[in-house]
Amino acid sequence: MKIESTFLIGVGIFFGCVAAIYWFLSYEDAGGMMLVGTCLLGLVPGSYYFFWHRRFRGHKYFFWGKTERVVGTRPEDRPDATIADGAGVISSFPGGSVWPFILGMGAFVLLLSFVFGVWLAMVGGSVILTALVGVTAESRRGGTH
């Protein structure tokens, strides 16, 4: 987690500096705003990863507080980890599902409605709603087929 968080926080710091330099040299709104946005795009998830990095090491919050559940370093972050160190369930991966296809086609039709007329939005919107319900129900049931 440490390198991941350093990487993203580094993105944030770099673009924070660039945003400051650019703003005070140009006072140009669009570029300045986008650079600030990019800075946040690095800082926000970077801080999240840093939080979990510290939590794994036994700190409840970033630098303070204690938690009993010390995870240590993840096997994928330890250079000497063996494959057996990663034993246990990785995650659950969904099997085949038709809903991403239906959702994608719904989005396709919905966006075409902006070009060809509102009546298509009824079709596209219905398909998207159906797909959203379907994919959610499928997740709750643990997948179909």
Partner 1 sequence: MTDVIAPPAGGGGGALIPGAGTDHLAHPHEEHGPSGLMKWITTTDHKVIGLSYMITAVALFYIAGLLALGIRVQLTTPAGTFISFQQYNQLFTMHGSIMLYLFAGPFAFGGLANYVVPLQIGAPDMAFPRLNALSYWLFLGGSTTMLLGFATSGGAADFGWVAYAPLSTSTYTPGTGEDLWIMALVLTGFSAIFTGVNLVATIFYLRAPGMTMFRMPIFTWNMLVTGILILIAFPVLTAALVMLFADRHFGTMIYAVTGCHTVTGAPDAHACGSAVLWQNLFWFFGHPEVYILALPYFGIVTEIFPVFSRKPVFGYKGMVFATMSIAALSTGVWAHHMFTTGTVLLPFFSLMSLLIAVPTGIKFFNWIGTMWRGQLVYKTPMLMSIGFLFAFLMGGVTGVMLASPPIDFFVHTTYFVVAHFHQVLFGSAVFGGFAGLYYWYPKMFGRMLNDTLGKWHFWLLFIGFWVTFMPQYILGLHGMPRRVASYPAHLGWQSLNIASTIGAFMIATSFLFLLANFWVSWRYPVPAGDNPWDAHTLEWFTTSPPPHHNYTHLPTIRSERPTWDYNHPEAPTIRHGGPSGPGHPNGHGPIGSGNGGPPGGGDGSAGARQGVPAS
Q: Give me the residues that bind partner 1 (CB under 8 A), please.
A: 3-4, 7-8, 10-11, 14-15, 18, 21-22, 25-26, 28, 30-31, 34-35, 38, 41-42, 49, 75-101, 103-105, 107-108, 111-112, 114-115, 135, 142-145
Please say which residue, 79 or 119, places its beta carbon nearer to partner 1: 79
Three-state DSSP state, 14: helix
Cα–Cα distance, 131 to 63 (Å, whole number): 44
| Backbone torsions φ then ψ of 128, nearest 5 degrees | -65, -45
Please say which residue, 69 or 145, places its beta carbon nearer to partner 1: 145
Least CB distance to partner 1 at residue 6 (A): 9
- CA-closest candidate to residue 56, choices 1, 5, 10: 1
Three-state DSSP state, 123: helix
Please say which residue, 64 or 119, places its beta carbon nearer to partner 1: 119
